[in-house]
Amino acid sequence: MNYSSSHALLIKEEARRLGFSFCGISKAGFLEEEAPRLEQWLKKNMHGEMAYMANHFDKRLDPTLLVPGAKSVVSLLYNYYTPKKQIDNSAPKISKYAMGEDYHFVLKDRLRELMNFISDNIGEVNGRAFTDSAPVLDRAWASKSGLGWIGKNSNLINKGSGSFFFLAELIIDLELDADSPVGDYCGTCTACIDACPTDAIIAPYVVDGSKCISYFTIELKKAIPSEMKGRLEGWAFGCDICQDVCPWNRFSKPHHEARFDPSEELLKMTASDYEEITEDIFKRVFKKSPVKRTGYDGLKRNISFLRS
C-alpha cells in the first residue's frame, strides 16, 4: 500500500473538514528559483522598514532549517472574502482581511487541530505550523503545491476562487505524495498594475513593498511620506485595490468562518465616527482585529493623513 498517497488524502480530507478551502503538498527542499528573486528584492530595499524580511534568509528558502528532517510542506488556503461593505462610502477604508477576528488566532486553532489529527491517525509526526508567523515563503510553497499561481500583483491566485485567502503551512517529517504546480493564467492582463495608485507594482510580478498602501498604513511606524498625499484612495488600514480589480476575483465566494464576520458597529461607522474615535471605542470596535497591529495612534495618524 502506498502510505504517502493515503496519508496525503487523509490530511486533505481533514483540512477540508476543518474549514480550509484548499490543501496542497510539496516536497520539502531548497527553493532554488526563489533565492535570486528574494536576494534582488532585498538588495533593492523593497522591504522598506520591514527589517524582519531580511532576517533568516536561508531559513526562508529551506524548510529543513526550520524543521530538521522535514520531508513535506502542507500548504493550506483559508477563505476570508466577504461581500459585506462599510455603509459610509466616505469613511476611511479597512481591508477585507481585517474586518473580523485576527486570522492568526483563527488559523492557529485550525492548524493545531490538524496537527493533532495527524498524530492521532497516522502516528508520531514531528513538525511545525505556520501562518505568517515565521520566515516561510508561503506563496511560493502554495504555488509549488498547485493551489494557484503567483499573479502580477504578487498574490496567490486560485483559478476557481480568486485570491482572498489566508495562507498557512505545516512543515512535517512525514513523506507525502506531492502535487504539481498549475500554469499562470494572468495572460496579458495588467488590471492590478494599472489600478495601483502608488505604482507599487513596478513590473509584472514585482511589488515594491515600500510603496504599497498596506505598508504605509500598517508597517511604517514613522510619518507617511508627504508625496503620498491624495494617493491612498481612502485606505486607513491595508488595501484591496489590486485584488478588487483582478478578474479572477469575480469567482470569490463568501467565507463560512463566523469569526471573520465584521461587527455591525464597524460596518456602520461613519467618516465622522472615525474622525472622533476615542481609544476606548478603538479598543471595543477592533478588540480582536488585525487593526490592533497599527494601534490607536497609528490609525489616527492614517485618518489624519487621509484628511490632510
All three cell numbers of 5: 498517497
Residue 128 CB burial class (10 angstroms; 0-12, 13-18, ≥19): middle
pLDDT of residue 65: 93
Structurally, the chain folds into a number of domains equal to 1
> pLDDT at residue 249 above 70?
yes
Classify the phi-psi angles of 132: left when phi > 0, otherwise alpha if psi is within -120 to 50, otherwise beta.
left
Confirm if 113 and 129 have CB atoms less than 8 A apart. no
In tens, the pLDDT along 260-292 reads 999 999 999 999 999 999 999 999 999 999 999
Whether residue 179 lies in the annotated active site:
no
Q: Cβ(183)–Cβ(159) under 8 Å?
A: no
* Domain annotation covers residue 14: yes
Residue 287 lies in a domain: no
Residue 71 covered by a domain: yes
Residue 30 included in any domain: yes
In terms of Cβ atoms closer than 10 Å to its own Cβ (0-12, 13-18, 19+), residue 157 is buried
Which range has the worst mean pLDDT, 8-17, 40-49, 120-129? 40-49
**Structural domain contains residue 29:** yes
C-alpha grid cell for residue 28?
520539502
Q: Which domain holds residue 145?
A: 3-84+94-172
Catalytic entry in 58, 102, 109, 132: 132
- pLDDT of residue 232 exceeding 90, the answer is yes
**pLDDT over threshold 70, residue 57:** yes
Task: Determine if the pTM surpasses 0.85.
Answer: yes
76 is a domain residue? yes
What pLDDT score does 146 carry?
98
- 11 in a structural domain: yes
CATH of the domain at 151: 3.40.109
CA distance 214 to 228: 13
Torsion-angle region of 56 (φ positive above 0: left; ψ -120 to 50: alpha; else: beta): left
Amino acid in position 16? R
Does residue 44 belong to any structural domain of this protein? yes
Exposed/middle/buried for residue 276 (C-beta within 10 Å: 0-12, 13-18, 19+): exposed
Name the band, by pLDDT with cuts 50, 70 and 90, for residue 1.
Answer: low
